[in-house]
Chain A
Amino acid sequence: MIEMIDLHKSFGPKVVLNGLSLRVGEGDTVALVGFSGAGKSVALKHIVGLLQPDMGTVRVDGTDVPSLSRPDLYELRRRVGYVFQFAALFDSMTVAENLAMGLIKHGGFSKDEIEERIADSLERVELEGYEENFPAELSGGQRKRAGLARAIAFGPKYLLYDEPTSGLDPVTTTVIDRLILKMRDELGVTSLVITHDMDSAYCISDRIAMLYDGRVLQEGTPEEIRRSQHPVVKGFVEGRPELVEEGSGGMRIFANTPASRRRI
């Protein structure tokens, strides 16, 4: 289980997270939605210890992540696969070498097992035959799939997706959405998906949480979020900025968040 408890994070005077609390239960797929710059990726990075909270904590399987020593943090990262927004593939390596990186580091795999796992992971994301290609030779959708293959290669218990469908055409978006569902069904992973694409969020998640003003504004099933009467949530899911501005007390929403303005 992943738990974010009263998480606070600021960068200089800019408050990004302001008491975020969210729980992702075993086997769940939770979508964390929100405006661009709302702090979704920042929240995700706290789970694997890429960022340290100013206040509050993150727990994975009951372990307090911010207080972990470096070896224990690396041990935790073996249980968590991270799919980056722009895939973050190592561009000087082939796709197969990218996938092998995690397997080599996590140890315990023979050369044959590594090759087998690479082939299996690429097959799962429908990218067979691309082992020897470099990231620059792949399309945007293929890179995302290769990034997903790298994240699942070492068999993680949790998968964190950072904007898995951003910048993709509608068909490729659907392909990625189906892959996320496939990972849940075939591998039984627990997933937290960062997105601002509501169609994707409805399609892939058991629950949706909306991040606004540094905290979860509303959380519920996709149907509950779709029918929400909260003006900010309704404005966000329906793409109506006037509703959001009304709900946030007439403040403009696209410069920065209300919390950040208060502190400047």
Chain B
Amino acid sequence: MTARTATWARPFAAVGRSAGGFFAAFGRFGTFFVEMLRSLRDVGTWVPLLVGQMRHLGVDSIPIALFLAAFTGIVLALQASYTFTGAVPLYFVGALVGKTMILELGPVLSGLALSGRVGANIAAELGTMRVSEQIDALETLAYNPVAYLVVPRVLAGILMFPVIVIFANAIGIVAGWITAINLLQMSTDDFIRGLRLFYEPFDITFSLIKATSFGLVVTAVGCFEGFATKGGAEGVGRSTTRAVVISSMLILVFDAFWAVVLLQP
């Protein structure tokens, strides 16, 4: 017999169920992640697939990341000029564009864009394979599906996201420079002077650490949601949405985490 929950207790019961669901999902993700680490030993299965995934998830994603970065660089230069005019020397535009692109907007905007492109793609592809029993078929053919499907995708994400972010940072800065010399009547020397003013080599390291963690988050969450798909086309849609939402949220969480851990004086 099912006990009825008193009206006053229902909100607490709902919170309890949500919390229980969250910790259960966290536990399932932990188990999945450990399984992924174990499957790294199955080198013969994932190595032949790695380059293909690096091309598919990484190289093919460069255009969208560059498109975003270019427009971000333009807007950054114009907003910096708008803010600084009459108060701060205009060569600070270069400093703001460079620092902001490398430390924050290059990795974060690329990560968010790729959570839509890469995370959704992985969740939909693996989700479809799950509901059409293709993952079970892999198992019956003596393949380890985690080594075959998950490991190459996650490693491709970890290796290629930093490459994408380097390109995005460069294009954002170049777009900011072109904007500065054409629309703000700045000279190239002034822009570069500003760019070098606060530059630290650690900035690049920080940007790449963030990019690597975002690559891990987007691909691992996409794979996890794809593998956990249930219930046909509707289930695939649900998994895809969850993959994008969860990986976007985790990107922002990791963004704050790295700032706290690595940027605090």
Contacts and interface: CB of A to CB of B under 8 A. Distances in A.
Interface string B154-191: 00000000000000000000000000000000000000
Q: Is the interface of A mostly helix, strand, loop or mixed?
A: mixed
Q: Is the interface of B mostly helix, strand, loop or mixed?
A: helix
B136 interface: yes
A106 interface: yes
A86 B136 contact: no
Contacts of B133: 84-86, 88
B134 interface: yes
B35 to A, nearest CB: 11
A74 B142 contact: yes
A48 B140 CA distance: 7
How many chain A residues sit at the interface, stated as a range, is: 20 to 34
Contact of B142 (A84, A89, A106): A106
Contacts of A50: 136, 139-140
A78 interface: yes
Contact of A102 (B132, B134, B141): B141
Greatest chain A CB density within 10 A among B128, B132, B133, B141 is at: B141
A81 to B, nearest CB: 8
B143 interface: yes
Contact of A88 (B132, B143, B144): B132
Given A88-B133, A91-B134, A82 B143 contact: no
A38 B191 CA distance: 73
Contacts of B137: 82, 84, 88-90
A77 interface: yes
Contacts of B134: 88-91
A84 B141 contact: no
A150 B134 CA distance: 13
Contacts of B140: 48, 50, 77, 80-82
A101 interface: yes
A105 B137 CA distance: 13
A66 to B, nearest CB: 15
Interface of B: 128-129, 132-134, 136-144
